[in-house]
Amino acid sequence: MSIRQISVFLENKPGMLNKMTEVLAEHSIDMRALSIAETKDFGIARMIVDDVYAATNVLKEADFVASLTQVLAYQIPDETGGLNKLLQTFTDAKVNIEYMYAFLGAGTAKAYMIFRVADTRAAEAALAAKGLKTLTQEEIAQI
């Protein structure tokens, strides 16, 4: 099952990222993963949080432009070659990756990979056929 990623469009100027994280902190929303992509004029903060509904609402109330995107999340061992094995499965299933980012689990020997692909449902089915199980929104919230 895919999970929801929040993408927030930020003007590329000092303090904007801080303002966004302040809003989340004030509402006790915990970020599990964060990735920033930027251009000269704006940035996109992509994040996985413990409470997607609350985060989306408080960000919009604070005048941030936020959208939800379906992504796939997989757990891998935090060891040499762990990512390579996962990516080989993507290759074998003929799944193209648009972008990805990672985070580590607190106090575990596990890493977690977030993937954006063109067709989430088809990719998930192809990867499941190769033995991979996606993480759920609830599992991510508990990490």
Q: Is 141 helix (H, G, I), strand (E, B) or coil?
A: helix
| Residues spanned by the domain of 31 | 3-69
Predicted confidence at residue 9, as pLDDT, reads 95
Predicted confidence at residue 116, as pLDDT, reads 96
* pTM, two decimal places: 0.90
15 and 38 co-located in one domain: yes
Separation between Cα atoms, residue 141 and residue 48, nearest integer Å: 9
Predicted confidence at residue 106, as pLDDT, reads 72
Instruction: Name the residue among 88, 91, 89, 114 with its Cα closest to residue 103.
Output: 114
DSSP label at residue 40: S
Number of domains in the chain: 2
74 and 56 co-located in one domain: no
Mean pLDDT for the chain overall: 92
Q: pLDDT digits over 30-89, tens only?
A: 999 999 998 888 999 999 999 999 999 999 999 999 999 999 999 998 889 989 999 999
DSSP per-residue codes, 67-111? EEEEEEEEEEESSTTHHHHHHHHHHHTTPPEEEEEEEEPTTSSEE
Q: What is the CATH number of the domain that holds 86?
A: 3.30.70.260
Would the pLDDT of 24 be above 80?
yes
92 and 131 co-located in one domain: yes
79 and 120 co-located in one domain: yes
